[in-house]
Amino acid sequence: MTKKAIPVEPDQEWTVHRFRPQDAPGVIDLFRSVYGDKYPVPTYLEPELLARENREGRVISSVATTPSGAVVGHHALFNSAPNPRIFESGAGVVHLLYRGGRGITTHLSSHGVEMGKTSPGIDLIYGETVCNHPFSQKAMNKARMICRAMEVSLMPAAAYVKEQSAESRVSTVLGFLTLKPRPCTVFVPRGLEHHFSLCYEGLDDTRTFEAAGGVPGSPESRIHTQIFEFAQVARVAVHDAGKNFQARITAEDERLTRQGIRVIQVWLNTGQPCVGQAVDHLKAMGYFWGGVLPQWFGTDGMLMQKVLDDPDWEGAVLANERNAQIAGLVRREWALIQAKPGSVL
């Protein structure tokens, strides 16, 4: 592996290809040029780790390089959801000298999608694109990933200090592209019928919708939590909301809050008829709806989230009408939670 990154020179031709071990130092330099050492995923700050993750297939990186081998862009597919057969399209960065209408982001994203299509282990690709600029959202749209959820205040402003592109926490929107259809039944919680109808509009797969109801079948809930300390974010995957769900999620919420977490996301399995009870309990705890998550657990999921600081709604850049529609619904759900007795708008 090359020990040092090849310096980036302006105004060079560039091509996109699958990651090679010699690209690793350049990718790490690229991430550090944008985020310093504040990027929350260590894979993109350690060259040996990046090379190993690509070699073993947990990350599939697309890289843009100039003829000298200098890295000017990066994008990757990687698994970050409970279902190991769906991969996120993300970790996209373009060098400052190569931004501004060159199309590198779009080419990298499209290259990743094409690699995903040829992978037998990937059923769906989704993108998590930031709302402090429109470029990654536009690339997501061109890749035919349709927005179906919004993660409010996901990224801390500290991640963008170096390039000064955000003054407060940054929200993201989630877009999905089905590669292999997985029809399933979705149980819709009471009061969210319109939200689900809009979010599933134009889905490139088949769904059967039924009203959520009934009681949990399992005595024990199956829950897995990931904590991202720098971002002050926790993600709680509820594979199975059992009879002890209220006690389990209440205890988990209290534990995470004591640890200084500012954003808690809860992923619920909408393949369970009892999902409505889980939603009602989370709303009573100050959580609000964030959208739907196709194939998230094999069956579909939905996002509930709690943010302990006021979101920067006005600062969110939304690249098209669809993204703005979803963001509008999420903002209204947040406002409803804030307006409950004991909350402050």
The residue-averaged pLDDT of 30-39 equals 88
Question: Please, are residues 271 and 186 in contact by the beta-carbon 8 Å criterion?
Answer: yes
The neighbouring-strand residues paired with 125 are 87, 177
Report how far residue 196's alpha carbon sits from residue 54's, in angstroms, rounded to the nearest whole number. 36
Distance CA 111, CA 106 (A): 8
Q: What number of other Cβ atoms are within 10 A of residue 67's Cβ?
A: 10
Q: What is the pLDDT of residues 226-250, one digit of tens each?
A: 999 988 999 999 999 999 999 999 9
Centroid of chain to Cα 66? 29
Closest CA to 235 of 247, 252, 250, 258: 252
Structural domains of the chain sorted by starting position, each given as residue range(s) with its CATH number in brackets: 15-178 (3.40.630.30), 184-338 (3.40.630)
- Say what the pLDDT of residue 168 is: 84
Residue 278 — pLDDT band, cuts 50, 70, 90? very high
**Confidence bin at 342 (pLDDT 50/70/90):** low
Q: Kindly indicate the confidence band of residue 345, based on its pLDDT and cuts at 50, 70 and 90.
A: very low
Cβ atoms of 232 and 262 closer than 8 Å: yes
pLDDT in tens, 165-221: 567 899 999 999 999 999 999 999 999 999 999 999 999 999 999 999 989 989 999
| pLDDT of 160 higher than 70 | no
Q: Is a pLDDT exceeding 90 seen at residue 157? A: no
Flag whether pLDDT at 164 surpasses 90. Answer: no
Distance CA 303, CA 311 (A): 17
Read off the pLDDT of each residue in 318-331 and give the average, rounded to a whole number. 97
Q: Do 322 and 147 contact (CB within 8 A), yes or no?
A: yes
Q: How many CA atoms lie within 13 A of 287 on its CB side?
A: 26
Q: Name residue 207's beta-bridge partners.
A: 184
pLDDT of residue 22: 96
Question: What is the pTM (predicted TM-score) of this model?
Answer: 0.90
User: Does the structure show a pLDDT above 80 at 158?
Assistant: no
Q: What share of the chain in percent tops pLDDT 70? A: 96
pLDDT more than 90, % of the chain = 83
Least-confidence region, from 28-32, 136-140, 309-313, 325-329? 136-140
CA 257 to chain centroid? 22
**Long-range own/partner contacts, residues 193-199 (CB < 8 A, 24 or more apart):** 195/289, 195/291, 195/329, 195/333, 196/292, 198/325, 198/326, 198/329, 199/148, 199/149, 199/291, 199/292, 199/326
Question: For the chain, what is the mean pLDDT?
Answer: 93
Closest CA to 140 of 179, 113, 170, 168: 113
156 pLDDT band (50/70/90 cuts)? confident
Helix axes 24-35, 47-55, angle to 10 degrees: 120
Phi-psi map region of 154: left, alpha, beta (phi>0 left; psi -120 to 50 alpha): alpha
Question: Among 250-264, 271-285, 307-321, 329-343, where is mean pLDDT lowest?
Answer: 329-343
pLDDT band at 260, cuts 50/70/90? very high
The pLDDT assigned to 344 comes to: 43
For residue 222, count other CB atoms closer than 10 A to its CB.
14
Instruction: Identify whether the C-beta of residue 204 lies closer than 8 Å to the C-beta of residue 177.
Output: yes
